[in-house]
Chain A
Amino acid sequence: MLEAVNLSCARGERRLFSGLNFSLPAGSYLQAFGPNGSGKTSLLRIVCGLAAPAAGEVRWDGTDIVGLGEEYFGAIAYVAHQNGVKDELDPIENLRISSGVAGNALSKREAQAVLERVGLGKQQHLPARLLSAGQRRRLALSRLLASRARLWVLDEPLASLDDDGARLARKLISEHLTSAGMAIIATHQEMGLSAGQVQRIEL
C-alpha cells in the first residue's frame, strides 16, 4: 500500500503542486494527467525517493520511505523518460546487467524468454545503438517483467511505442495489476487498462 500525504513539490521558485493526497491499495493504479511541465515526472521521482518533496511524505505500508531506503527500492521498479540502455551492449546484456544490479539475476535463457515476450527476440544480439526508439522503449519495459517489484512507476510508458507495442505495454501492466501489483503512471493519454482499479489525478 502506497500513500502520499500532503505532498508538495517546488522547482526553484515555482510551486508545481501542493497538498496532494492519495492512497494506492494493491491491484490498483494511479494515472497522473497534466500538460507538459505540470510536475508529472517530479511526482514520480518523489514517489521513487529520487527527489525529496518540498513538504509532505510518501509512505510505503505505513512507513515513510525516507526511513526505509533500500528495502523500499527492492519493492519498486521505475521506467523513466530515459531508458537507461547502454548503447555498446546488446539487449540480453542490457537486461541481464540491469536486472542483476536490481537484485534479480537472470540466466541467459530467462533473459531471452523475457525479450521474446516484448518482441525483441530477433534483435537480442544487436548492439543497442542499432535499435529504434520504440525498440529501446520495449527493452526498458522488459526490465519490469524481470523484476519482482510490487509497485511499478512508469513515466510515459507508451512513448515511441507502435500500436502493437502499446497493446503489449497495456497487457503487461494489466497482468501486473491482476497479480496484486500497483502502478503509478504519468501520461497525457488515457491508459484504458483492462484490469485494476483506477484513480486519476490532475496536476
Chain B
Amino acid sequence: MLATLFFFVIVVSLYPLGIGPEVQLLRRIAPGVVWVAALLASMLSLGRLFGNDYQDGSLEQILLTPQPVYLVVVGKVFAHWLVSEIPLVVIAPVVGLQFGLSENILAIIVASLLLGTPVLSLIGSIGAALTLGLRSANVLVAILVLPLYVPVLIFGAGAIEASIGGLSAKPYLLLQAAALILAVVFAPWATSAALRISVE
C-alpha cells in the first residue's frame, strides 16, 4: 500500500528535479503533473482490489452471500480508497510545495483530489473485476481504465489550473462532484456484473 504513496511522491518530485527551478514553468505544469501522477499511482494497486479474494476462493463466498453484491463492491472500493488514495490526498500539499504554489492553491489541489480519487477507485474497480484471473491483467487494466480516467484528469487539473490563473475553481469542483455521483451510482453495478462474469 505504501508503494502507491511513494510512487506518487517520486513521480511528482521528478519533474521539478528534471526541469529546474523555473517557477513560472513549474506552476504551469503543476496541475497536470499532480493529476497524471495520481492516475498512474491509483492504477498500481488495482490488482489487489479483488485479486487475493479471487485466488483464495473468498470471492465466490462473497458472491454467494445474501447481501446485494452492489453493497459489497461499494465496501471494497471504499476500503481501497481509504488505504491507497487518501495517503495521496494527504501528501499532495507537501509535494505541491516543490512547484512554488501558494496555500490556497494547495487547498484546491487537496479538494480536487478528494473529489476525484474516489472516482478513480470506482472506475478502476470495473477494470480490476473484468481482468480477474487473466495473465496480462496489469497491462489490460491500464488499457481499459486509463481512457475512462480522462474526464477526471481534465476536471481535476482544470480546477487547479483555474485557481493558479486567478479564476474560481468552483465550476470544475462541481463537475468533479457530479462525476463522483455518477460513478458511485453506476460503477459498483458494472463491477458486480463484471465479477459475476469473471467468476464464471
Chain A contact residues, CB within 8 Å of chain B: 45, 48-52, 70-71, 73-74, 76, 78, 80-87, 98, 101-103, 143
Contacts and interface: CB of A to CB of B under 8 A. Distances in A.
Given A50-B199, A51-B200, A52-B200, A74 B66 contact: yes
Given A50-B60, A70-B68, A86-B56, 5 more contacts: A70-B67, A83-B57, A101-B61, A101-B72, A102-B65
B61 to A, nearest CB: 5
Contact of B66 (A71, A80, A84, A143): A71
B102 interface: no
A-side interface mostly = loop
Nearest to B59: A84
Contacts of A80: 57, 60-61
A14 B58 CA distance: 28
B64 interface: yes
B184 interface: no
Given A50-B199, A50-B200, A51-B200, A78 B66 contact: no
A73 B64 contact: yes
B57 A84 contact: yes
Contacts of A73: 64-66
Interface string B28-62: 00000000000000000000000000001110111
B66 A98 contact: no
Contacts of B56: 82-87
A139 to B, nearest CB: 12
Contact of B64 (A78, A81, A85): A78
Contacts of B68: 70
Contacts of A78: 60-61, 64
